[in-house]
DNA sequence: CCTGTCATGTAAACGGTTACATGATTCC
DNA sequence: GGAATCATGTAACCGTTTACATGACAGG
């Protein structure tokens, strides 16, 4: 059982989904391709942590809708009690920022602007998602309940948005400093 | 040539180092074990991007001190111009936060407190490093120069510290909300 | 007609971790 | 005496990405 397996169980604990749905839903929290998810779901099924029903569709291809089993719930609960692995960040752009001194002002600008574009896009996506969640679940705002699945989702969304804004601010500050040092060359 | 290879070149462009030194220095920007770094350095050497001299030591084991070559510099510069991969974050604790609604207040607290402990430690390490860099390079503060290797390092350190503080604030806020909802049970 | 979405799978290759292997020195 | 640091390497395994493979429907 790896982390992705628990991630799948966690999503299935919220609602039954197909492997395709899971693949899309899981992206913000744990990047994974369908080629990793489908075999894992099959493995979780043989272990009895999930089961599925084949749902036939007319306009779209048939699908397997997976649900978490009692055994899966136990595994999830157990995982929650275990100590977690440290966060791992693989950010190629940060590595390039670290290497900027090798180049010139123009290439420095390009790297920072690429980063701005990325976080602008990300921030926009996050804000749309937040608005959607708030629309569909107005009750969470008036009566916050930690043990509701929507509350934790909202909290994580807010956190992601604050972080993205911070990253953008940092980039703008950096850009300004680059432009200032361009004006007064040594 | 993968990202780790460019990371190694980037560090060697700052100063010649052994594989062991690289392994330690690279951790904050790109996690990698020595078992990945040593073979990669050998590969980079056969490709002519780095070379090394064997330095014999009396009190410690001998070491290979690697330097970047002209060809390595060209490869690095080329990489800087290429578009970067999106940042990838694998944070098991975030996944658990997302799953908190399944458990009770006590287990929710435990997960958040584990996260607080992690970021407290990280913040402390980062602050010590920042102080060290500022001590050794006071010139960067009085006359900031974007194209100096210390400047980019300092900028990234400041960014990491701000992010860690933000994570901690978020955790404390979450903890408070958990405790509040404990007092008024539904 | 072509591209994108829905839907599921397998195989090969690459990236990364854990374990195996060795050995001297230093510090508790 | 035992653990930690310095130092380099290999091998097996696990996790992840990319490519191969198929097919129907919808929209521009």
The confidence score (pLDDT) of residue B186 equals: 56
If pLDDT is split at 50, 70 and 90, which confidence band does A186 have? low
Give per-residue pLDDT as tens, B113-132: 999 999 999 999 999 999 99
**What pLDDT shows up at residue B41?**
98
Q: How far apart are CA B39 and CA B23, in angstroms?
A: 12
Nearest to B126 by CA among B100, B98, B163, B90: B163
The answer to whether B101 contacts A149, with C-beta atoms less than 8 Å apart, is: yes
Q: Which single residue has its CA nearest the C1' atom of nucleotide D5?
A: B60
Hey, is A66 helix, strand or coil?
strand
In this structure, is the dihedral angle defined by the CA atoms of residues B123, B127, B133 and B134, taken in order, positive or negative?
Answer: positive
d(CA A52, CA B93): 28
Give the chain B residue nearest A89 (alpha carbons). B89
The confidence band for B181, taking pLDDT boundaries of 50, 70 and 90, is confident
Token pair of A158 as six digits: 């807010």
A56 token code pair: 């036939």
Distance from the Cα of A56 to chain B's closest Cα (Å) equals 30
The CA distance from B169 to the nearest CA of chain A, in Å, is 10
Q: Helix count (H) and strand count (E) of chain A? A: 8, 4
Residue B141 pLDDT > 80: no
pLDDT for the residue numbered A143: 78
B63 C-beta neighbours (distance < 10 Å), count: 17
Q: Can you read off the two tokens belonging to residue B110?
A: 């435990």
Whether residue B145 and residue A186 make contact (CB cut-off 8 A), yes or no, is yes
Nearest C-alpha in A relative to B177: A146
A180 to each of A99, A176, B152, B158, how far by Cα in Å? 20, 6, 15, 19
What average pLDDT does range B163-174 have in this prediction? 98
Instruction: Report the pLDDT value the prediction gives residue B59, as an integer from 0 to 100.
Output: 84
């Amino acid at each position: 059982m790896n982390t992705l397996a628990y991630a799948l169980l966690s999503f299935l604990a919220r609602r039954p989904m197909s492997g395709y749905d899971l693949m899309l839903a899981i992206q913000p929290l744990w990047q994974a391709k369908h080629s990793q998810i489908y075999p894992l779901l099959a493995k979780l099924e043989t272990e009895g942590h999930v089961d599925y029903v084949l749902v036939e569709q007319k306009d779209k291809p048939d699908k397997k809708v997976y649900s978490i089993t009692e055994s899966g719930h136990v595994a999830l609960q157990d995982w929650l009690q275990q100590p977690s692995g440290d966060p791992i960040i693989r950010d190629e752009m940060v590595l390039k920022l670290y290497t900027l001194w090798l180049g010139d002002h123009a290439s420095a600008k390009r790297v920072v602007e690429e980063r701005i574009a990325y976080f602008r896009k990300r921030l926009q996506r996050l804000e749309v998602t937040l608005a959607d969640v708030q629309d569909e679940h107005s009750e969470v705002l008036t009566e916050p309940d930690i043990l509701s699945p929507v509350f934790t989702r909202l909290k994580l969304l807010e956190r992601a948005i604050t972080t993205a804004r911070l990253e953008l601010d940092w980039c703008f500050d950096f850009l300004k400093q680059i432009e200032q040092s361009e004006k007064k060359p040594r």
